[in-house]
Structure 1
Amino acid sequence: MTDLVETAQPARTGRKDTVRIAAAAGLAVVLWASAFVAIRGVGHALSPAPLALLRLGVAAVTLTVLVLARRTVRVRLSRKAFLLIAVYAVLWLAGYTVVLNAGERHVDAGTAALLVNLAPLLVAVTAGRFLGEGFSRSLIVGSLVALGGTAIIAAGATAQRDWAGVLLCLLAAVLYAAGVMVQKVTLRHVDGLTAIWLGCVVATVVLLPWAPQLVDELRVASTSTVLGAVYLGVFPTAVGFTAWAYALRRMNAGRLSAVSYAVPAVSVLLSWLLLAELPTAYGLVGGALCLAGVALSRRR
C-alpha cells in the first residue's frame, strides 16, 4: 500500500516527530485491517457492487472536503495523467473492492487479509518482468514460500464456497497489484492525494449502474449495516490513506513498508474480537508462510 500514496521524498525528522509518525502509521494499519472485518460484518446485507459504490462514494465526498480544506492539491491534469488515474481507479478502487466484497462472503476476514497481502509479491514479480528490475534470489525464494502458503490455505478449502472465496481473494490480490503498477506510473504526473481523490470519484462513477440496487438494499438494511458501510468509506479509505501519506512524507518508504505486514495479523485479531471468527489451522499456517514469503521477496 505504500506505493498508493507516495507524494514526496521523506523529509528529515527529529525525535519530536517520531511519535507522530508512528501514530499515523499505526492508525493506517489498524484502519486498513478493520476494513476486512467491516466488509465481513456488512457484506451479507449489501451486495458486493452496491457496497463498493457506497464505500467509494463516501470516500470521494470525504476526500473532496479534505482537498478543499487544504487547498494545496494540483487539479490541472494532462490527458495522460487522467487516463492513468481512470485505469487504476477501475482496476484497484472499483474492481478490487467489488471482488474482495464478494470473496469475504465465503471466507473469514483474517484469511482474506492473508491472501490479499500477496499483492506486494505480485508487484515485485511484475516489476521484475516488465520494468526490467530482474529477479533476485530473495524474490524467487519468497515467491516459492508464498505459493506454498497459498497452497496450504487452498488445501483447507474443502467446500465449494470456500474455494470460491480463496479464488476471489487471489483475484483481488491480482487486481490490487495491477492497480499499484499503474499507480507507480501515475505518480510521475500527479501528487498522491489528487490521485486517490480523483480515483475515488472515477470509481464511484463507474459503479453508478448499481445505484438502483443500492437504493433497494438500503431500504431494508439495518442502521448498523449503513453505518458500517459509511465507516469503510470515511476511515479505512479516506482517513487511512491520509494518515499513511503523513507518515510516508516523513519516513523512508522502504522502511515504512514493513509496517503493512501487520495488517493481516491485526485483521485476524479484530475478526476474533468483533466477529468471533478465526481462520482455520490451514489458514493460519498458510497465511504465516504467505507473509514470510512476501517479507523474503522484499529483502534487498
Structure 2
Amino acid sequence: MTTRDRLLGLTVVVLWGLNFLAIRAGLDHFPPFFFAAVRFLLIAIPVVLFVPRPQVPTTWLLLYGTGFGVGQFTFLFWAMHVGMPTGLASLVLQSSAPFTVVLGAILLRERLRPVQVGGLLVAMSGMALIGWDRSQHAALLPVVLTLLAGLSWALGNLGNRKAASDQPMRLMLWMCVIPPLPMLALSFAVEGPSSGWDALTSSLHGNGPLALAGLAYIVILGTIAGSGLWTALLSRYPAGTVAPLSLLVPVVGIGAAWLVLHEEPSAVSLIGGAVVIAGAAATQMSGKARQGPSPHVRPPARVGV
C-alpha cells in the first residue's frame, strides 16, 4: 500500500471513529429509530433517482440492507439510547468481524483455519470480559444490544458477499434504499406517530442544530465519503491488506468520546476491548483455506457506521 493510500485509509478510520460522536449528537435530540430512518432516507432518495441499480439478485440485496441497515442500526441506536457509552459502542461493534466468520462457516460452509478458530475464542473471551465488567457497573442490556448490532452487521456482510457485485459502491448505495420504510414503521409503532416529526420540527432549537450537524456528518462524511474511500481502497488492494485498518476505528471512537464527552471506560473494559480487537484481527488474517468461497466471490466490504 502506498503512503498516499495508507493516509486515505487512516482518514477513513478517523471519519468512522468520529461518526460515533455524530450518532450521540443525533440521539440526544431524535428518537433512535426515527433517526436511523432519516439517516438512510436522505441517501435513498437521490440513489433511487440517479444511481442505476446494481445487477445483483434481489434476495442478497435485501439481506444486505436488512442486516447492515435495519438490524445493525436498530440495535446500535437502541443500545446508545439506553446507556451504551459512545466509545465502548465503537469497540463492541467490532464483534461483527468474528460473527461474520462464524456465520460464513455455518451458512456458507466456509472452512475455518486454526488461526481463525483461535481468534474467535479470543474475541469471545474479550466480549465476555466486557459484559461481565458492564454488569458490575451498569445494565448489561446496552452491551447485549450492541452485540446484536454486530451480529446484524455480520448477516449484512453475508448478503454483500453472496451478491458478489463488481460495483461495490453502487451496491452499498442501493443497500441504503432498504432500511427507511421498515425503520419508519418501527418508529411509528414504538416511538409513536408524532415523536420523530416533533423532534424534526423543533430541530432549530436547543440541541437540535447539533443533532442536524451530526446527521449531516453521518450521511456526507461517515457514509458517502468514508465508504467511497474505503471501497476505492478495496478495489486496489486485497481485503486482508485493507480490512485490518478498520480495527483502529475504536481507538478513535474511544479517544474522541474521552476528549469530547469525558467518558472514561474502565480498565477492565479497555482490556476486554483490546482482546476483542486482537481476536477480530486474527479472524481476518490472510491464508489459503482448504475449502472456501469461489475465487470470483468478492469478500464483504466493511462500510462503517
**TM-score category, normalised to shorter length:** 0.7 to 0.9
**Which residue does 2:8 correspond to in 1?**
24
Q: Give the CA deviation at 1:183.
A: 0.9
- The count of residues paired between Structure 1 and Structure 2 equals 275
In structure 2, list runs of 5 or more residues that go unmatched: 189-193, 288-305
- Alignment counterpart, residue 154 of structure 2, candidates 152, 156, 177: 177
Query: Could you tell me which amino acid in structure 1 is paired with residue 31 of structure 2?
Result: S
Aligned to 1:43: 27
TM-score by length of 1: 0.84
Please, which of 113, 117, 134 is the counterpart of residue 90 of structure 2? 113
Q: Partner residue of 1:261?
A: 247
- Of residues 175, 179, 183, the one that matches 1:203 is 179
Write out aligned runs for 1:148-167 (5 A).
148-158=125-135, 162-167=139-144
Determine the structure 1 residue equivalent to 2:197: 215
TM-score by length of 2: 0.82
> Are residue 100 (structure 1) and residue 76 (structure 2) matched?
yes
What is the alpha-carbon distance in structure 2 between the residues aligned to residue 218 and residue 140 of structure 1? Answer: 46
More helix by share: 1
Greater relative CO (CA pairs within 8 A, separation 6+): 1
Alpha-carbon distance in structure 1 between the residues aligned to 2:104 and 2:162 = 12
Aligned alpha-carbon RMSD (Å): 2.2
Q: Which residue of 1 aligns with 2:101?
A: 124
Distance 2:7 2:86 in 1: 24
On the 8 A contact 1:21/1:250 being kept in 2, the answer is: no
Contact 2:41–2:176 (CA under 8 A) maintained in structure 1: yes
Structure 1 segments of 4 or more deviating over 6 A? none
Shift of 1:153: 0.7
The change in CA–CA distance for 1:242 and 1:131 in structure 2 (over 3 A counts) is same
Q: Does 1:75 align with 2:53?
A: yes
SS at match of 2:264: coil
Q: Equivalents in 1 of 2:266, 2:79: separation in Å?
A: 16
Q: SS state of the match for residue 117, structure 1?
A: helix
Distance 2:27 2:228 in 1: 25
- 8 Å CA contact retained: 1:22, 1:247: no
**1:140/1:297 contact within 8 Å kept:** yes
Q: Label 1:75 to 1:64 Cα distance change in 2 as closer, same or farther (>3 A).
A: closer
